[in-house]
């Protein structure tokens, strides 16, 4: 007993200060790929190797529209390896949660040379620009907001709608002493009837469709839904097929999307705190509605 206490005192506090202070991720961590559209001379190689068609090309004889969808991206890094012009690189950015699915999509339009390489960038739309409205503030104020809104802790019901369990491993880490989600007054519950937030993962297999829907319907108002991971957003590597529906929003309305494969615990925390903000809006709407 004394040894355990001594070890605890020697270890000290291990809980991360995120989001109050920025987090250091490992040097080899793969975050979102970033695209330098001005520098990009040819998107074909990257699109060809992308396993989830997150990079899609729409070619006409002398023009090309390139679409990059972070909701489909599994952060594999193949596009960066395939781009000889160094226009694509893997960053260590992970705070990508968005309240609008469209914010995860970037587009660029080019005129083309005869050999299919890019001649000139005509137009670019950087959806990610509007992501992340002050999550640090959200983190600081989350506990207070939750108390004000609910008068108690925020309860999350997690549903694995056919995931590989990669996302679940990261979600479980939210409860460990390092990430300690309970410091915000947020905890996981077993019953949807006690839940304010539905956190769903997986491409939504057809076998899990009804379970997901019933869970959502069993939750009291106000409630928010968070889709975690590439599969939860778009079906990811599985996409839409005979066995999977291709994302949580095919079944229930989603308030926050958290990209990643899987999203690391801080990325989940970032998205959950954004969703707390949505709960506030919903609650307010309900009040004045």
Q: Which residues bind ligand SF4 (CB under 6 A)?
A: 33, 49-52, 54-55, 73-79
**Least distance in angstroms from the C-beta of 117 to ligand SF4:** 19
Token readout for 179 is 């990430």
Cβ atoms 103, 130 nearer than 8 A: yes
**Residue number with CB closer to ligand SF4 (31 or 202):** 31
207 burial type by CB count under 10 A (0-12 exposed, 13-18 middle, 19+ buried): exposed
**Least distance in angstroms from the C-beta of 96 to ligand SF4:** 12
**Residues in the chain, how many?**
289
**Residue number with CB closer to ligand SF4 (19 or 31):** 31
**Least distance in angstroms from the C-beta of 109 to ligand SF4:** 18
**Least distance in angstroms from the C-beta of 248 to ligand SF4:** 19
How far is 233 from 55, CA to CA, in rounded Å?
16
SS3 260: coil
**Residue number with CB closer to ligand SF4 (91 or 191):** 91
**Least distance in angstroms from the C-beta of 30 to ligand SF4:** 8
Phi, psi dihedrals of residue 225, rounded to the nearest 5° = -120, 130
**Residue number with CB closer to ligand SF4 (35 or 110):** 35
63 burial type by CB count under 10 A (0-12 exposed, 13-18 middle, 19+ buried): middle
**Residue number with CB closer to ligand SF4 (66 or 156):** 66
């Amino acid at each position: 007993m004394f040894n355990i206490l001594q070890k605890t005192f020697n270890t000290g506090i291990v809980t991360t200060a995120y989001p109050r202070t920025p987090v250091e991720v490992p040097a080899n961590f793969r975050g979102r790929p970033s695209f330098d559209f001005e520098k990009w001379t040819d998107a074909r190689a990257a699109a060809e190797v992308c396993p989830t068609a997150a990079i899609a090309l729409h070619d006409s004889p002398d023009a090309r529209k390139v679409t990059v969808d972070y909701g489909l991206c599994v952060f594999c890094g193949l596009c960066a390896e395939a781009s000889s012009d160094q226009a694509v690189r893997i960053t260590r950015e992970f705070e990508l949660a968005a309240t609008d699915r469209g914010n995860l999509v970037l587009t660029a339009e080019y005129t083309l040379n005869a050999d299919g390489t890019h001649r000139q960038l005509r137009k670019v739309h950087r959806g990610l620009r509007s992501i992340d409205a002050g999550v640090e503030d959200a983190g600081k104020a989350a506990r207070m907001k939750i108390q004000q809104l609910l008068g108690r802790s925020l309860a999350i019901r997690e549903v694995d709608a056919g995931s590989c369990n990669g996302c679940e491993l990261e979600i479980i880490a939210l409860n460990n002493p390092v990430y300690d989600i309970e410091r915000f007054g947020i905890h996981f519950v077993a019953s949807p009837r006690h839940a304010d937030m539905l956190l769903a993962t997986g491409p939504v297999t057809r076998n899990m469709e009804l379970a997901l829907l019933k869970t959502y319907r069993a939750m009291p108002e106000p409630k928010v839904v968070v889709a975690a991971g590439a599969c939860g957003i778009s079906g990811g590597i599985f996409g839409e097929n005979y066995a999977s529906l291709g994302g949580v929003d095919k079944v229930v309305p989603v308030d926050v999307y958290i990209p990643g494969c899987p999203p690391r615990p801080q990325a989940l925390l970032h998205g959950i705190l954004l969703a707390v903000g949505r709960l506030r809006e919903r609650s307010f709407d309900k009040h004045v509605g």
